[in-house]
Structure 1
Amino acid sequence: MADAVLPGQSVTVRVPATSANLGPGFDTMGLALTLHDTVTVETLDSDELVFDLRGEGVEELPRDASHLVVRCVDAALDRAGYCRRGLKVSAENVIPHGRGLGSSASAIVSGVLAGNALLPPEARLDDDGVLQLASELEGHPDNIAPALTGALSVSWQAGDSYRSARIVPAASIVPVVAIPQVELSTETARAMLPSSVSHQSAAANSGRAALLVHALTADPSLLVEGTEDFLHQSYRAEAMGASAELMNALREHGHAAVISGAGPTVLVLADGPEDADDVQQSIERFAALSENSANWRVLRLAVDTEGAKVEMHRR
C-alpha cells in the first residue's frame, strides 16, 4: 500500500504563460512570457477536496478529482509511490484558456511541481524527472519546457525520453500578444493539418527554424524572415480567420507576427520598445479598419527568464 504524504503542508507554484511554435518551430520551440498563473495546494487531514478558483475560465473548471491540477498532483505522487488524502486547491488564473498561451501546460506544471514538493526530499523527482512526467501528461514538451525553465526552449524526443535545451533570447526582444475573445481548442486546430508535406516545404521550414534561433539570440533584424512558417499556420487559417488576417497584415508591415501555439492569439516578436510601440499602433489601426473584428486584448509582455517558482510552507 502506498504511503500517504503528510497533512498540513502547503506549496505555492507560480508558472508563466508560454507561446509554442513561434512560426517555423512547430512542436519544438516555446517561449516563456511574463503572464503567470499561481496555484497553492494544501494537504488536508481529511478526504475532502476544496477549491478556491479565481480568474480566467473558472466557470468551466471542474471542482473534483478530474481538475487538471489535482490529476497532476496525483500523478507526481504516484510516480514516487505515494498517495494523498484531501487537498485544498487555490488558484489565481491569469493565462487565458483556449487561446494558444499554454494554459494547460501551466496547470500541468503547477500540479507536478506541487505534488513533487509535497513528497519527502528523498522521494522527489529531479528536474529531468519533472520534465518527463509533465511532458507525458501534456503529450509533448514544447510548452512544458519553457514553463519550467523560462526563456526559449528547443525540445525534442529521443526514444521514450523528452529532452530540451534552454536558450536566452536577446534582451531587446519584446513579445506583444493580441488575444481575441474567441477560444480554439488545440485538438480542433491540429485536426486541420495535412498528413504529409512536400520535401520543399520541410526544407524551407527547417531553414527558417534554424534562422529563428539566430534571430532571437544574435540578430533580431532577421526575425521577420526567421518566423516564416511552411508547415501549419496556413492550414489552420480557416479556423481563425481574424487571427490569420491580423498576422498577415502585421507581417506585410514588417513585423515578426505568428500564431501563438495552436491559436488564436497572435504573437509579435518586437525588436525593442520603439518597435513594440509600432506593433501596438498597427494592431489598433487594423482593428479599426477590419470588418473581421475579434475585440483584441493587446498585452505588451517580456520574456520570462526564470520559469516556474515553487515556495513550500510547512506547519
Structure 2
Amino acid sequence: MTIVTTKALSKKFGKVTALDGVDLNVEEGEVYGFIGPNGAGKSTTIRILLGILQATSGSAQIFGKDVWQDAVEIHKRIAYVPGDVNLWENLTGGEVIDLFSKLRGKTNQKKKERLIEQFQLDPSKKCGTYSKGNRQKIALVAAFASEADLYILDEPTSGLDPLMERVFQECVHEAKRNGKSVLLSSHILSEVERLCDRIGIIRQGKIIESGSLSEMRHLTRSHFFVETKSSIPELGSQKGVHDVREEEGKLGFQVDTENLDQVMQYVSKFGITKLESKSPTLEDLFMRHYEKDSPNRGASS
C-alpha cells in the first residue's frame, strides 16, 4: 500500500522554480530516504506534504487524501520533526510533550516515559534553558510516543550527539517493525544508508535517482587495493579505471562496475598476492552526482 505519493509536483516562487516535476512514493512499512544538499528542494517538498505550502502544479497525496484539501485529517495520523525545533520558552519539556500529546489525542504513555529515559532528557527544565540538541529530543519523544502511521522527519538528528543518534535510529527501526512508514530527509549519508529501504536523490528541484541502494550501486565505482608480484603498467589507461594511486605500499584504484571483469583479468596477469575491495557507498553515489554541481545550488530550500 502506498502511503505517500507525488506526481509531477512543482512549486514556483515568482520566477524561481524550487520543485520541477517531483515524483516519489513511500510504501507502507518503508523507510524512504530523501537526500540532497541545501537548496535542492527537500524542505519545500515536505512543506507541501504537510499542507503548509500549496503546490503550483502536480499532485500530492498521503493516505490517499489530498495534502492541501485534507490536511487536517492527514495530520491526525502523521508525526513531524523539523530540523530546527522552536518551543515555548516558559513551558517545561514535559509540559510541551504533554501538549503535543493532547493535540494528537493518541499517545503511548509508557513509551513516552521510556523515550524520555532513552534520550536522557530532563523534562522538568524550562524549554528556554534547553540546548538545540535537547529541543530536538523533545520533538523526537513527542513524535515517537504518538501512534502515528507516518513519520515525516526533516533533518531530525540536527544537534544530537552520536549516542543519541543511535537512540534515534532504534526508534526508526521500531517504527518500521510496527508497520509504520518513515520519510527521512537527512544530510547524514551514513544515517540514510543504515536506515532506509529506498532512497531518492533530489537536485535542483528534480529527483535524479531513486531506488534501493543496491539498485543504484551500478552507478558508482568499486574501490580496490591490490598487491602484485610485478608492477602493473598502464593501469590508469585501462577502460573504466579511475584515481590510480599508491597508498601504504598498495596500489589503489576505482573501477566502473561495467568494466570490472576485464580490469580484474588485466590485473591478474601480474600475479595478485593481496586484493582488498570496498563496496561503493551512498556517499560515493551522492558525490558523483554533485561533484559538478552548479554554483547557485543554495538558491532555495
Shorter-chain TM-score bucket reads under 0.3
TM-score, structure 1 as length reference: 0.26
TM-score, structure 2 as length reference: 0.27
